[in-house]
């Protein structure tokens, strides 16, 4: 189920019980970015911003699948200044980086490193049933020096 908020700047995708939540989240995000004219992006900075958003959504939804008992919902909230991405899951424990003994040559365990490097800010908060992991990236219009939406 998809819901669109005021002026279509707030999009909600309920993921609870959905098959292929990472793929569906990427498709949903791609449609939102297209509606907001992030895609097809003009210029390298805007393209990179859209690609970063797609990667970030994939990472936080995959982490909810692996560590949170499955994602509950994905929220995309866009303003002139930033895009906020929120993913809920049933596990109240905050996200934690892998143990120091993690082999950097092995796959997996790098999601929070990616989030930390690409997001302007990120964190988590407790919810009624688990937690919400959120992150923010600047709007490409701002980062490219163009006017906002």
Question: Regarding the domain delimited by 2-97+107-143, which CATH topology (the fold level of the hierarchy) does it fall under?
Answer: Heat Shock Protein 90 (3.30.565)
Lowest mean pLDDT among 44-48, 95-99, 134-138: 95-99
Question: Given a cut of 90, is residue 100 above it in pLDDT?
Answer: no
Neighbours of 63 (CB within 10 A): 19
pLDDT at site 37: 82
Say which residue, 139 or 28, is predicted with more confidence.
28
- Token pair of 79, please? 């303003």
pTM reported for the whole predicted model: 0.84
pLDDT at site 45: 77
Q: How far is CA 4 from the centre of its chain?
A: 16
Question: Given a cut of 50, is residue 128 above it in pLDDT?
Answer: yes
pLDDT at site 44: 77
Domain boundaries defined on the chain: 2-97+107-143
The band of 144, judged by pLDDT with boundaries at 50, 70 and 90, is: very low
Say which residue, 35 or 15, is predicted with more confidence.
15
pLDDT at site 82: 94
- Token pair of 140, please? 């490409």
Q: Which residue is it, tokens 């002026």?
A: 7
Percent pLDDT > 70 in the chain is 79
Residue 61 phi, psi (nearest 5): -70, -40
């Amino acid at each position: 189920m998809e819901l669109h908020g005021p002026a279509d700047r707030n999009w909600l995708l309920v993921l609870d019980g959905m098959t292929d939540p990472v793929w569906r989240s990427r498709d949903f995000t791609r449609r939102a970015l297209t509606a907001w004219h992030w895609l097809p992006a003009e210029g390298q900075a805007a393209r990179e911003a859209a690609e970063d958003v797609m990667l970030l959504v994939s990472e936080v939804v995959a982490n909810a699948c692996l560590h949170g008992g499955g994602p509950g919902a994905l929220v995309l909230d866009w303003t002139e200044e930033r895009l906020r991405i929120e993913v809920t899951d049933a596990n109240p424990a905050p996200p934690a980086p892998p143990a120091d003994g993690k082999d950097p040559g092995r796959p997996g365990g790098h999601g929070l490193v990616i989030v930390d490097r690409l997001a302007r800010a990120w964190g988590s908060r407790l919810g009624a049933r688990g937690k919400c992991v959120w992150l923010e990236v600047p709007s490409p219009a701002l980062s490219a020096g163009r006017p906002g939406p």
